Amino acid sequence: MAVLHTKAVTVILSVTVLLGLLYLSQYYSRTDVVTVTPWLAPVVWEGTFNPFLLDSIYKRKNITIAATVFAVGKYIMFLKDFLQTSEEHFFVGFRVDFYVFTDRPNEVPKVNMAAGRMLTVRSVPSSNRWQEISARRMEIIQNLIEKKLQNRADYIFCLDVDSKFHGRWGAESLGGLVAVIHPGYYRDDRSRFPYERSPASNAYVAPGEGDFYYCGGAFGGLVEEVHLLAKTCRKNFEDDAKRGIEAAWQEESHLNRYMWINKPSKVLSPEYLWQDFKPKNPEVQIIRFSGVIKNYANIRPN
């Protein structure tokens, strides 16, 4: 009887695995886009993952995801849509802690948040130059992790406030170090990427080097990985500043240098930070997160 029972269990398990493989076969079938990097990191597009399977795996782990967003100056006007749409699409069903950094804490909108989701507002100084606001993000993220998150969160994502969620952003995006391919350059040859080209800068990427051009407006990963990224980029930026050097795209330039040396373990497609003014290309089957159309002259301090 024991032998028959063992054989029956084996058959049941084999059938279960087969059904699972058949179910998964509807995924991982994209041939129109790059789905793996040369260093074998997955590139996440719609149709390359099973959302139900991933959610079931990660929800059992009882993880906490932190998300940072900077709403300084007139950028506060974008915060309500960001938060409201995040409740609809960003790690729904997971424990999420949002950290809003702003110089206008009294203007932070009230948004109903689901159970297990929390919003913390932290004051930061104003600035007369948007470049300085951009550059200080790495310092603030580093300090947040060191003082608050090391024993509180498992993963962290750093996102631009002038953006909205339009579709699922979930467990498929989790990884050690996570980068998002910039929607403006993902079809371009590497020679056209706007890397920092001055050898004097710590953000320098030489011609012929680089993999993808990544967004500064969305990146993340394990807390310890993002801490190292933020700490390194901050130091490199500050060393540049002491020598009177400012990289072309501030923290985005330094992030791209860091990601060239320290390859991300997961790369998210431009679905994860599109641009509203761009028409959706055929390979982009879904827009998950996108920068809204705005007049920079009206919202930036310089």
State the catalytic residues. Answer: 252
162 is in an annotated binding site: yes
Tell me if 75 is assigned to a ligand binding site.
yes
46 annotated ligand-binding residue: no
The dihedrals phi and psi of 162, each to the nearest 5 degrees, come to -80, 45
| 223 annotated among ligand-binding-site residues | no
Report whether 9 belongs to an annotated binding site: no
> Phi and psi at residue 2, in whole multiples of 5°?
-65, -40
Q: Does the annotation list 107 as a binding residue? A: no
Q: Which secondary-structure segment (H or E) carries 121?
A: strand 117-123
Query: Taken in order 153, 158, 159, 165, is the CA torsion positive or negative?
Result: negative
160 is in an annotated binding site: yes
Q: Which of 129, 99, 97 lies closest to 113 in space, CA to CA?
A: 97
Question: In this structure, what token pair is assigned to residue 135?
Answer: 């550059």
HEC string of 194-242?
A: CCECCCCCCCECCCCCCCCCEEEEEEEEEHHHHHHHHHHHHHHHHHHHH
Provide the 3-class DSSP secondary structure of residue 69. Answer: strand
Binding positions are: 70-72, 75, 160-162, 182, 252
